[in-house]
């Protein structure tokens, strides 16, 4: 931001367009935001919680980006890339907040590129294999519905950064869910073939829904302090939303969610996560000193 950043100096020397070659020097998603911790909140807890919500978004974004150049239509490719971009933006703010809250001062890149699978806190549905387009739509329907329900509550958090990030994200998530709803209706209530593929996607996705509503101890503690949200509180609302959408799409709603079991929130993942991270982190691993 000031003249002591080498790229700023270069950009200024090269006139206004130098930034295209040297970057803007503005990389902190939370620059200038008041980052004081709320009274009585444990910084380590808050940092882990921010990683949980941030990793859900980051890993889901990485999965969605896999559709770029590979979606059924250009419009859907653009839509999925835009949704991924929103989620990436949410992840950046949350991971930057994590680095402030735990006192480590780590930036978003340190969290995204320099952690292994066991340090990621996302739910399994975010890392699940990409599958076909129907599966992408059903995954997005479930994840956006659950995230929207949690973030609507999180907008009232006592943590000013979490509440601001959530209030902003709610508008974006509502768009994501609308997109997923429209495609669920088209596929489910479309041709017999599209119905069959959509029904198979529901069967694949449903076993992974229980975890979305399982609270780990960090979430329980922060929810009790008015900082976090107990995902169990959103369970019934999300179930009603999904049942309504699936029924309208002539897809059988598979009954209650499976039992809530904590896994990804405590770093226990499926074998799918490591290769996803390997791809996401490949440039950072090959060029650890690089900046961008």
Partner 1 sequence: MVTATAARERAWDAAAAVTDPELPMLTLADLGILRRVEIEDDGTAAVWITPTYSGCPALAEMRADVDRAVRAAGFDRVRVRTELSPPWTTDWITPRGRRKLAEHGVSPPGPAPRREPGPVPLTLLPTRTVPRCPRCGAQDTEELSRFGATSCKSLHRCRSCLEPFEHVKEI
Residues that bind partner 1 (CB under 8 A): 1-2, 11-12, 16, 19, 24-27, 29-33, 75, 78-79, 81-83, 85-90, 92-93, 152, 160-161, 163-165, 167-172, 174-175, 177-179, 181-182, 185-186, 237, 241, 244-245, 248
For the CB of residue 269, give the shortest distance to partner 1 in the complex, in Å. 25
For the CB of residue 266, give the shortest distance to partner 1 in the complex, in Å. 26
For the CB of residue 270, give the shortest distance to partner 1 in the complex, in Å. 26
For the CB of residue 80, give the shortest distance to partner 1 in the complex, in Å. 8
Query: What would the DSSP string read from start to end of 57-122?
Result: HHHHHHHHHTTTTTSSSHHHHHHHHHHHHHHHHHHHHHHHHHHHHTSS---HHHHHHS--GGG---
Cβ nearer to partner 1, comparing 91 with 218: 91
Cβ nearer to partner 1, comparing 237 with 266: 237
Cβ nearer to partner 1, comparing 94 with 223: 94
For the CB of residue 271, give the shortest distance to partner 1 in the complex, in Å. 29
Cβ nearer to partner 1, comparing 2 with 36: 2
Cβ nearer to partner 1, comparing 218 with 227: 227
């Amino acid at each position: 931001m000031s003249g002591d950043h080498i790229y700023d100096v270069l950009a200024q020397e090269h006139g206004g367009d130098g930034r295209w070659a040297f970057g803007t020097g503005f990389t902190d998603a939370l620059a200038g935001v008041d980052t004081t911790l709320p009274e009585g909140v444990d910084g380590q807890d808050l940092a882990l919680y921010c990683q949980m919500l941030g990793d859900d978004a980051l890993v889901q974004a990485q999965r969605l980006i896999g559709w770029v150049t590979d979606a059924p239509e250009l419009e859907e490719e653009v839509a999925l890339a835009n949704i991924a971009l929103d989620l990436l933006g949410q992840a950046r703010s949350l991971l930057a907040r994590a680095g402030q809250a735990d006192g480590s001062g780590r930036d978003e890149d340190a969290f995204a590129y320099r952690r292994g699978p066991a340090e990621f806190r996302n739910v399994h549905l975010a890392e699940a294999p990409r599958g076909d387009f129907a599966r992408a739509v059903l995954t997005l329907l479930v994840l956006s519905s659950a995230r929207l329900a949690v973030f609507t509550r999180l907008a009232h958090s006592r943590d000013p950064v979490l509440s601001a990030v959530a209030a902003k994200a709610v508008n974006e998530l509502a768009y994501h869910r609308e997109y997923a709803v429209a495609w669920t209706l088209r596929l489910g209530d479309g041709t017999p073939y599209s119905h069959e593929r959509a029904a198979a996607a529901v069967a694949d996705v449903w076993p992974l829904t229980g975890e979305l509503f399982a609270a780990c101890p960090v979430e329980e503690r922060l929810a009790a302090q008015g900082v976090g949200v107990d995902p169990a509180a959103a369970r019934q609302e999300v179930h009603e939303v999904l049942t309504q959408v699936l029924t309208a799409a002539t897809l059988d709603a598979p009954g209650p969610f499976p039992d809530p079991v904590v896994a990804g929130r405590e770093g226990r993942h499926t074998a799918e996560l490591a290769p996803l991270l390997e791809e996401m982190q490949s440039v950072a691993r090959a060029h650890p000193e690089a900046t961008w």
